[in-house]
Amino acid sequence: MTRSLSVVLNACGLLALTAVLAVAFGYQFALGELPCPLCLLQRAAFAAAGVGLALNVCLGPRPSHYAMTILSAVAGAGVAARQVLLHITPGSGSYGSPFLGIHFYSWALMLFVAIVVGSAAMLLADRQFAAEGPGTPAAPALGKGAVALFLFLVAANGISTFAECGGGMCPDNPTEYQLLSR
Amino acid sequence: MMALPFVIFAAATGCALAGRRGLALGAWGIGLALTLFLFRHHATDALPLAF
């Protein structure tokens, strides 16, 4: 795999993470469902995983960038697994509306595992780490656009989380945007 | 407090766009540590599991 192809694939991965954040955001506003603290932490872990991909896109692929993505996904999987386990026994209920029949925390667990597997598979391609000739752009326009879109979604999540929780910790079952209700 | 990880990861992404790799790495590390701290703070209830 060439360095250029790797950058394009990383940009596609970043767009996929942006789509995940956008869908969660859409549900939050379309259905008026406020994300719980664990939901917010899963979103944060998706954002963390995207930083490694953004570095691959902007500065070229490096094993350490993939390591950042894998470590972030493992942290996110831990949070998602806890939320799945909170609701796994019959009668323990659920949180939020399902998306395509599956709750968001279950989707998140599957996606974090997919991120780990995908990043490990990308690490198998050694040629992407070889330097290409001078003048080879690390990030094509598509890549920088993907990074900018991802940055916008992460910042928007920060603003919405601040509106929901204020400067402190979020309640376990949030019912209103704390900042807007004052 | 819960918004801080998003702010930090957005800053890390901005650093990546600006070509500041060291800053991006540092911000990412701080953001991930904060995310794990917040997880520890919120993971207090015992899981309803019996094996």
pLDDT of residue A3: 87
Going from N- to C-terminal start, the domains of chain B cover: 4-41
**B32 and A48: CB-CB below 8 Å?**
yes
Answer for the pair A76, A43: CB distance below 8 angstroms, yes or no.
no
Structure token digits, residue A86: 């909170």
Answer for the pair A17, A54: CB distance below 8 angstroms, yes or no.
no
Residue with tokens 């789509």: A19
Question: Which fold does the domain A3-165 belong to in CATH?
Answer: Bromodomain-like (1.20.1550)
Q: Is B42 on the interface with A (CB under 8 A)?
A: yes
Interface ipTM: 0.94
Q: How far apart are CA A179 and CA A25, in angstroms?
A: 18
SS3 at position B6: helix
**A169 and B6: CB-CB below 8 Å?**
no
Best residue in B6, B20, B36 for a mutation probing chain A (most A CBs within 10 Å): B6
pLDDT of residue A8: 92
In this prediction, residue A178 has a pLDDT band, given cuts at 50, 70 and 90, of: confident
Q: Is the pLDDT of residue A137 over 60?
A: no
**Which of A68-77, A94-103, B41-50 ranks highest by mean pLDDT?**
A68-77
Q: Is the pLDDT of residue B11 over 60?
A: yes
**B19 and A40: CB-CB below 8 Å?**
no
**B28 and A52: CB-CB below 8 Å?**
yes
Q: Is the pLDDT of residue A131 over 60?
A: yes
Q: How far apart are CA A80 and CA A74, in angstroms?
A: 10
The mean per-residue pLDDT over the stretch A70-95 comes to: 90
Going from N- to C-terminal start, the domains of chain A cover: 3-165
DSSP state, residue A31: S
In this prediction, residue A44 has a pLDDT band, given cuts at 50, 70 and 90, of: very high
pLDDT of residue B33: 97
Q: Is the pLDDT of residue A135 over 60?
A: no
DSSP state, residue A32: -
Residue with tokens 């767009």: A15
A151-173: pLDDT as tens digits? 999 999 999 999 998 888 888 88
> Buried (b) or exposed (e) across A23-58, using 16+ Cβ within 10 A?
ebbebbeeeebbbbbbbbbbbbbbbbbbbbbbbbbb
> Buried (b) or exposed (e) across A74-109, using 16+ Cβ within 10 A?
ebbbbbbbbbbebbeeeeeeebbeeeeeebbbbbbb
Q: How far apart are CA A105 and CA A73, in angstroms?
A: 13
